[in-house]
Amino acid sequence: MITPDALGYLRETPSQTAGPYVHIGLIPRQAGFDIFENNLGEAAFDPTAEGERIRIEGRILDGAGALVRDALVEIWQADASGRYPAQGMNDPSGRGWARTGTDFETGLWSFETIKPGRVPGRRGHGRMAPHINLWIVARGINTGLSTRLYFADEEAANAEDPVLGIVEQPERRRTLVARREVRDDRPCYVLDIRLQGEGETVFFDI
């Protein structure tokens, strides 16, 4: 039962793992069936949205280096001008949000999206470097993991990013920076996520 504390506040509902069948609820086609007319989260932006088209992709590895093939990844990002789609509005360019599952065979996740612009930091901070917010859930992950994807070709902006700046060890900052490749003349940014152990990805308590 939910009871307020002495100041009238309520405690947050505890998290539980999304389990191995998270696809049924959130991406039913990957579970193997079609049920909704409108599948949510297939693309963060519409084809008409302005900005540079990019692909981001990666794998998720556990503490033994094995592929995590049953994870769900969500992204939340600003548009090319550094603005988040407004809450409660039908933004014609898209929601800025999408989700996908890691592939059951290859363990790869990927999104076709646009490269975000720089977003203002907190007051007293400079602008943040272009980044995409990631949220990862899976069997064995008790509480969703929050991290960020930054871009290797934004070296100057990354160097002054206020969030990268609070990661004390410089080598840990590199776990958030996706390397750039060009495939079929299109930029592709690759970021592997290591849940645990050597090269462990930085996760945030946001």
Binders of other proteins in range 33-72 (CB under 8 A): 33, 35-38, 40, 62-64, 66, 68, 70
123 near other proteins, rule: CB under 8 A: yes
Min dist. Cβ of residue 190 to other proteins (A): 21
**Residue 48 or 90 with smaller CB distance to other proteins:** 90
Q: Is 178 exposed, middle or buried (0-12, 13-18, 19+ CB in 10 A)?
A: buried
Min dist. Cβ of residue 144 to other proteins (A): 6
Sorted by sequence, the CB contacts under 8 Å of residue 74 that are 6+ apart come out as 41, 97, 98, 99, 134, 135, 136
Question: What is the C-alpha to C-alpha distance for residues 123 and 119, in angstroms, rounded to an integer?
Answer: 12
C-alpha distances (whole Å) from 107 to each of 35, 65, 159 are: 24, 12, 31
Binding to other proteins in span 156-195, by CB under 8 A: 163, 166-167, 195
81 near other proteins, rule: CB under 8 A: no
CB 136 within 8 A of CB 148: no
16 near other proteins, rule: CB under 8 A: yes
21 near other proteins, rule: CB under 8 A: yes
96 near other proteins, rule: CB under 8 A: yes
The letter for the amino acid at 56 is: I
Binding-site residue total for other proteins (CB under 8 A)?
86
